[in-house]
Each structure stands twice: as C-alpha cells, then as structure tokens.
A and B are shown apart, each in its own frame.
Chain A
C-alpha cells in the first residue's frame, strides 16, 4: 500500500541483501511444503477442521433462531465454513486417500439456547476455544500450515471482538 518514495538508499539496501543471500545460502527450512504427518497417525489439522465445521453449523443455527444475532452469526458461519474448506483441502492434499479409513466425525453442533444472551455467549466461547486450539498448533506445525492456522486464530479473535 505505502509506496515509499524511490530513493537511492533503497536500491543500495536491495543490493546488500542480495549479497547476504549469496553468502548465507538457503537455510534448512526448504521442504516445508513436502511435509506430511507420519503414516497411521492422525493429521493435526483434523481437529481444527472438524471444529470449524461444528462452529459454522452452530452459528448458522444461532442466526436462524435469533434475528438480533443474525448479522454477526452469519458472518461467523461464513468465515468458519471458509476455514473448514481450506483445512479440508490441505488435509486432502497431504492424504488424498486417508488410510486407514477413518469414520468421519459427525458435525453436530450443541443445541441453540432460546435466550439470545446465552446463544451469543456460546458463540463467543466457541470462538475463544477455536482461537486457542489454532494458536497452539501455530507454534509447532510447518510454515505453511502454521500461517494458515495463524489466520484462523486471528479470525476467531476478530469474531470474539465483534460479539463482545
């Protein structure tokens, strides 16, 4: 966004960093994209993917039950559905054909409270739990997945901010 005014210093800085690159060489971080969980162990993205599906279903149910919460809940449902799609795509990329075949966990959201305040609190609690889960995974997973979950965690935090 902010186009810095062109300056000679920038050109010099660019040259300097190229020289550093040639001297330093690539680090041992290449190959992140080739990472895959060990066979026969659950993919660590499975829990956040399932949670995103449950949250999307919960938020859609809240939006249907409570018109005053519909705007926030529908936005939350849309974002969590986007998380679920992207996480599922990454799961599928790594294991196009999961073996052994796992029984898909059913997406069963908790019942929606008839009280708007309680329904709103349930959404807030869900967003905090999702943020915590994703944030913990950010610290340990390879770069691409860590960045993906960092965005998921940050998004859940923005929904908490909208709800509270």
Chain B
C-alpha cells in the first residue's frame, strides 16, 4: 500500500538536515516530520477504531494508542530541540474506506501501523549512522510491524507477516 503522508513525503535527495552544530546528531528533518505525521494519524485512527471493535480489544487498542502518543511526543521534542517546528496533526483525515464495523476498523489500524513502519524505516535510511536516532527509528519500525502482525491475526488476515516491513 502506498502511504500518503499528510505533510508530504520528502524525496531522499531533497532531505534537509538540522542540528550537528554542537557535536549533536544531524536530524533528517523531512523524514522525522513525515514520521511524526504518521504518528498523529495513528493516534487519530486508534481513537476512531475504539468505537467499532469489541470491548475485549479495548486494552490492546489503548496500549497501541499510548505507544503512538509516546512516539509522537518524543519526536516532537527531538524536532523542537533542533529548532524545528513539529508538524501539527491535520485538522481532519480521510480513511481509505469508511469505518463501519470491527473488520473495517481493524483494517484501518493495520494501515496506520503499515504507514508508521514505512515512515520510521525512512528515518533509518536518511539518518547518519547514529546509534541513538537509528536505534529509535528501528525500535519504532519494529514495534509497528509487530502490532500490524498481531492485528492481522486478530482480523484473521493472511499472511500475518511481510518480508520487509516498512519497505515501499
């Protein structure tokens, strides 16, 4: 699935970098803003999905939403510390299909996890070889891939895994 990042997905050759002046890490600003935008979208998605799935899934939805909120907040701090204004959430989102029941709600959260995985993989790709930033981005990619797999299992979707999570 082709992600459509709300803030526009920068071409690798058009990446801008910030930071690095005081021995800090050069941040790939465009990739981080795109990742932040997918985190905003994921937080919104989990809010929507909660209304349509069985209450037995509430805890898992809450955990996922909390994880995305934490990732969103950490990414905002990273950008602010580098003197960059973080992208805000969009005033509205249009989901790929109407969410009308549990099945369409689960497809939506799987799509959100797929999008965040793709955005964090791009952060890995455009980061300097820095353990902190690449490690953070890898952790976010891995967590999103695992949640996508678990939601596919919940939804009865197959296959449960993809060989290259986050790859375009």
Number of A-B contacts (CB under 8 A): 161
Check A162/B165 contact, CB under 8 A, given A139-B134, A140-B129. no
Contact check, B134 vs A82: say whether CB atoms are below 8 A apart: no
Q: Looking at chain A, what size class is its interface with the partner chain? A: 35 or more
Decide: A155 and B145 in contact? CB cutoff 8 A.
Answer: yes
> What is the size category of the interface that chain B forms with chain A?
35 or more
Q: What residues of chain A lie closer than 8 Å to B1, measured between beta carbons? A: 1
Beyond A5-B92, A79-B161, whether A14 also contacts B153 by CB under 8 A is no
Please give the residue numbers on chain B whose beta carbons come within 8 Å of chain A beta carbons, in ascending order: 1-4, 6-8, 10, 12-18, 26, 29-30, 41, 44-45, 87, 90-96, 111-112, 114-115, 117, 121-122, 124-131, 134-135, 137-138, 141-142, 144-146, 148-150, 153, 159-167
21 A–B contacts, CB within 8 A, in A order: A1-B112, A2-B4, A2-B95, A4-B90, A5-B94, A7-B90, A21-B14, A27-B15, A78-B163, A131-B142, A135-B138, A151-B121, A154-B141, A154-B142, A154-B146, A155-B145, A158-B145, A158-B146, A158-B160, A158-B165, A159-B161
